[in-house]
Amino acid sequence: MFDVIVCGSLHLDVMVRAPRLPGLDETLAGSAWGQQCGGKGGNQAVMAARIGARTAMIGRVGDDGFGRRLLDHLASQGVDTRSVAVDRTTGSGMSVAIVDTSGDYAAVIVSGANLTIPPESVAADWAELDGAAILVLQNEVPEAVNVAAAREARAAGAKVLLNAAPVRPMDTSLLDLVDILVVNRVEAAMLAGRTVDSEREARATLPVLAAAGRSVLITLGAGGIVGQDAAGQVFAIPGLPVQVVSTHGAGDAFIGSLVARLAAGAALEAAAHAANAAAAAHVSGQNQPCEDRSC
């Protein structure tokens, strides 16, 4: 049995450094490029493993060079890959991200094999891995896959954490299976149908997102975190002042650290404090995956 099972996406990220994001029809000169193994699922699994959680991944890659690199990377970071299937007909997922001089970024993803995970295969994967204390989900695989995985986890007595990113309309059949919902301000606003631009607005949004004892964390970037645990206790954690190198993957660093601490027995607020520090370290250039083939 594992501490954490992540069911989700795997992408090979092409990272481009540029002074700013280009405008419509504009060709802009960049300063460097590189490749990173990513995808929200893969990033979160790697971070959880780095923190010390026994971690496994359920996912899918293509039968191509990208897929082999993604599998090798997970294994090198201590993530069990036996339930990452290889799709012989669809290419691996990938993304292109542009990072500007302030560390902000924009990205386009091509999901590829991530969209071909059969929902009916998840039960066998969960059984093969002998379950985990916590299941982690995101929105870069089909919702039917998330629902199937959440049902297996709930039936086995595991906690289900959903990082609802990227945000999309979700059926209550998934949300009803979620024990911990983690969203940023944009995702919180879209799910709750209200503006979430400040700590005050985030606090007011918590009751909308926390149903039937569900815990909620709303991340506000430099503004910190607002949360509500399963007992209804509300808390706020201030952001940590750091020199930003890149915000790419910061949310995944937060999630991976959070679930590793939760699996080790930490309460939600304590785990969120530790995850906040891990995300701050990540955006300042520490604990980021190394890029290769830089030019």
What's the rounded Cα separation, in Å, for the pair 192 and 223? 19
pLDDT score recorded for residue 291: 44
Q: How many CB atoms lie within 10 A of CB 207?
A: 13
Q: How many CB atoms lie within 10 A of CB 249?
A: 25
Q: Which range is least confidently modeled, 79-83, 96-100, 197-201?
A: 96-100
Q: What whole-number percentage of the chain has pLDDT above 70? A: 96
* pLDDT greater at residue 102 or residue 208: 208
pLDDT score recorded for residue 239: 85
- Are 168 and 186 in contact by the 8 Å Cβ rule? The answer is no
- Convert the pLDDT of each residue in 96-147 to its tens digit: 989 898 878 888 889 999 999 999 999 999 999 999 999 999 999 999 999 9
The reply to whether 252 belongs to the active site is: yes
- Convert the pLDDT of each residue in 35-54 to its tens digit: 999 999 999 999 999 999 99
Q: What average pLDDT does this structure show over 61-79?
A: 97
Tell me the pLDDT band of 284, cut-offs 50, 70 and 90. Answer: confident
Catalytic residue among 72, 87, 252, 292: 252
3-state helix, strand, coil in the chain (%, to 5): 35, 25, 35
| Domains defined along the chain, listed by start | 2-283 (3.40.1190.20)
- Convert the pLDDT of each residue in 211-268 to its tens digit: 878 999 999 988 999 999 999 999 999 988 777 776 667 899 999 999 999 999 999 9
pLDDT score recorded for residue 103: 78
Please report the beta strands in 121-224, taking only residues with DSSP state E, as ranges in sequence order: 132-138, 159-163, 180-184, 215-219
What are 220's strand-pairing partners? none
Cα torsion through 282, 283, 285, 289, rounded to 10: 50
CB contact set of 288 (below 8 Å; sequence gap of 6+):
245, 246, 249, 282
DSSP state of 202: H
